[in-house]
Structures are given as structure tokens and as C-alpha cells.
Amino acid sequence: MIATEKTIETKAAGAAWDVERVREGFPVLNQTVNGKPLVYLDNAASSQVPRIVIERGSKYLREEHSNIHRGVHYLSQRATSAYEGAREKARRFINAREARECIFVRGVTEAVNLVMHGYGRKFVREGDEIVVSEMEHHSNLVPWQMLCEEKGAHLRVIPMDDAGELLLDEFDALLNERTRLVCVGHVSNSLGTVNPVKEIVARSHKLGVPVLVDGAQGAPHLLVDVQDLDCDFYAVSGHKMFAPTGSGILYGKAELLEKMNPFLGGGSMIRTVTFERSTYAAIPDKFEAGTPAIASQIGLGAAIDYLNSLDRAAAHAHEQQLLRYATERISAVEGVRIIGNAREKASVLSFVIEEVHPHDVGTILDREGIAIRAGHHCAQPVMQHFKVPATARASFAFYNKREEVDRLVAGIQKVIEVFS
């Protein structure tokens, strides 16, 4: 079953996924680590960059680099065209109505902080409430705590069950006339859960409450349609969807972005400046002070082109097969427990091994050439829910293959052997 609200349409039904051919496009995958072929299963932390994205960024630096929106000269025009071209690609990628609704940011952390400062500090008052979920990444939790502390507002938390699914009935009970914003992840980075964000948006809008969706793990795995979701903000990190670090998108509905305060002050975000006062530029420039990560954002545009060139339904089906296979094999190993068993999951698999700390798991797997994440995944409340200090997490991209799951399972068996 395909885990999106808007079902990914198959371009060529039943088309096989040629994983070896896809892998050829990712130079970093072709190396050995500790004498063994690299198995990269840390995609939820940061995905790898395909050659065509590397080449696009490199072409920019070799031939087109200049500051944007400033010069009348040739190079500045070219840089500006490429940068704004990437914005239009971003618009199509998430199906925003207008390109000016896509603010370029360094990633989800900056996006959430931008909304906190621009929207939260302007519209949230003492006694108001902000709703987050129990499975939020710290980036969609800590900024809201900071806001609540500053304003005397209250943070309300949508609880989850032991499978790692949000309890929507509890959510309904949290919503009231004091709720100012609902902030929820599309896909949990620690559990893999795909949250019913469209439903959450619909329920919130009944009370007129806007919704921010953290799409860090949504954009790489699902087809995102912000108009279909009807969310008010949607945040994307480029480096988790095959683009360079320092790139990202904050989508916001134009009418909201327009009434928000600016975030960072400086160049590019102004209309007029005198010592008495300044007036601000229109969106998106209002939120893009200073020289942005031009090469990275152009790289994000290239990553979107790359994703569009794939059969994304087949890519998704491949990831889901890997997830199912890994879940089956890992849960069959004695002493291993999978954390997060939601009905709809993206290809993120957290697990713990009895009596072995995840950091030791990570080090031993690394010696086998396998990269996973070990730790709290910037989601300490999730660890507290499941009463574990940390988990080991394997996260799969469409360039991973079945043999790599076998290598992971063999690595887990080695861990158990070392600690037996």
C-alpha cells in the first residue's frame, strides 16, 4: 500500500526498479569503508547527492557565480535566473499556487524558527496554546517551547500509542478557541510513522487554526501537494531529498506570509531604509535577508529535476519492499525489538538490541562498513515514551538494495556475538 494521502500515480504500472542503474548516479555509494563496500542506511539524517546535482552546483560555481538580485551585469543575471528557476521548480514540486509562497531557507530548522518569529511572536499571546505532537523532532518542538516561555503561552501535546500512531481523538480534545497553531511532522524521523496530516489540517481548520507541517522526512518519500493537504506552512530540508546541505523550502500561504513579521533583518528584505524606519520587501524577499546559499538552492532545483526524472511510484514501492523485508528479517533476530510499528510507515526502521547500547551497535556496524544512526534522533520525548535511552535507526532510500538489508542483519548478529 502506498503511504500518501495523494496516491502516487504509477507512470508505467509494474515497471521494475533498476536499483543498480540508480546507484550508478550516486558516486559516493561506490566506495569501501573499513575494507567493505559501503552500506549507507542513514538517509533520514542526510541523503546522498546524485551526480547531476553535483554537476549543476559545480557548473554554477565554475561559470555562473555572482550575487543574486543585485547586479545588472551578466553573471548576476545568470545567477538570479538559476536561483529563481529553482524556486519555480520548488513550487511545482510541492504544488504551491505561486512561487512567491516558497521561501528559500537552510532547512526545516530555519523554516520553523522563521514561522515562530514571524507568525508566533506576532500573533501568540499570554494564555494561548500551541499544539505539537509527541513524536516531533526537536526542530519542531524547541522553537515552540521558546515562544511559549516568552509569551506565557502553553504547549499542548498530541499523544501517541505504543505502535507510534497519533491519537486523533485526543487531538480533538486539545483543540479549542485558544489554540493558535498546530505543528506536526508529516513523517516521524525516529519511528517512520506517516501521520494523517490532511485530516489534522481539516480538523484544525474547523476552528480556524493554521497548521505547520514539518516535511523533512515527507518530501523524500512521499508526493507532497500542499494545496491538497491545505496546510498553511510546509517545511522541507534539501539535504534529506538528495540536494546539498544549506538548501530548503518553507511554503506558506501568501496571505499568512504577508501579514507576518520579517525574520532576519538586512539586505534584500527591505523596500526603503532611512534612519527613522525601514519598509519591507514583498514575499518571498521579505524572508530572505542576506546572500543565500545560492549554489545549494540551485542544487535543490537540480535534485527536484532528478526526482522528476524517476518513476517515483516505483521508487516508493522499492523503498516499501526494503522496509518490509528489513522489518521481517530484523524482528526474527532474537533479542531485537523494533520501535515504531505504525500501519503506515516510510522506510525508517528504529530498533534496540537487548542489553546493548545503540552506540555500540553503531560502532560495530561501522566496522562492517554499514552506516546507521544511533542516538535519540533529536526526538528525546519519543525515547522517553518507549523508555529507551536511544535507538539504532536504519533508514532506506530508493538506491538501497536487498543485499544491504542482508548485510545489516549479519552486522546485527555480529553485535550480538560480541556482547554475548
Partner 1 sequence: MSELSELYQQVILDHNKKPRNFRKLEGANRSAEGFNPLCGDQLSVYMLLEEGVVKDLSFVGTGCAISKASASMMTQALKGKTREEARVLFDEFHRMVTGELDEEAETNHLGRLKIFAGVRDYPARVKCASLSWHTMHAALEGEESATTESLGPDLSGAVVSE
Main-chain phi, psi angles of 77, to 5 degrees: -65, -45
Question: Rounded to the nearest 5 degrees, what angle is found at the Cα of 280, between the Cα atoms of 277 and 285?
Answer: 150
Taking the complex as a whole, the smallest distance from the CB of residue 42 to partner 1 amounts, in Å, to: 13
Taking the complex as a whole, the smallest distance from the CB of residue 359 to partner 1 amounts, in Å, to: 4
- CB nearer to partner 1: give 88 or 360: 360
Taking the complex as a whole, the smallest distance from the CB of residue 123 to partner 1 amounts, in Å, to: 32
Q: Is 378 a catalytic residue?
A: yes
Alpha-carbon distances, residue 24 vs 27, 299, 301, 348 (angstroms): 7, 19, 20, 23
Q: Are strands 179-185 and 211-214 parallel, antiparallel or unpaired?
A: parallel
CB atoms within 10 A of CB 61: 11
Q: Considering 102, 148, 231, 378, which one is annotated as catalytic?
A: 378
- CB nearer to partner 1: give 205 or 357: 357
Residue with cell 533583518: 265
Alpha-carbon distances, residue 176 vs 27, 171, 183, 206 (angstroms): 51, 10, 15, 10
Residue ranges in 324-383 that form contacts with partner 1 under rule CB under 8 A: 355-360, 363-364, 367, 374-376, 380, 383
Query: Among residues 118, 113, 86, which one has the least CA distance to residue 102?
Result: 86
Taking the complex as a whole, the smallest distance from the CB of residue 414 to partner 1 amounts, in Å, to: 9
When asked if residue 31 is in the footprint of partner 1 (CB under 8 A), the reply is: no
Q: Are strands 248-252 and 233-237 parallel, antiparallel or unpaired?
A: antiparallel
CB atoms within 10 A of CB 24: 14
Taking the complex as a whole, the smallest distance from the CB of residue 356 to partner 1 amounts, in Å, to: 8
Alpha-carbon distances, residue 249 vs 113, 146, 160, 217 (angstroms): 13, 22, 28, 13
CA 409 from chain center: how many Å? 27
- CB nearer to partner 1: give 76 or 380: 380
- CB nearer to partner 1: give 16 or 418: 418
Rounded to an integer, what distance in angstroms lies between the CA atom of residue 28 and that of residue 390? 28
Site string for partner 1, 33-52 (x = CB under 8 A): -x------------------
Q: Kindly tell me which residue out of 74, 173, 389, 410 binds partner 1, with binding defined by CB under 8 A.
A: 389
- CB nearer to partner 1: give 6 or 357: 357
With contacts defined by CB under 8 A, how many residues of the chain interact with partner 1? 19
* Residues tagged active-site: 378
Residues that bind partner 1 (CB under 8 A): 34, 355-360, 363-364, 367, 374-376, 380, 383, 389-390, 418-419
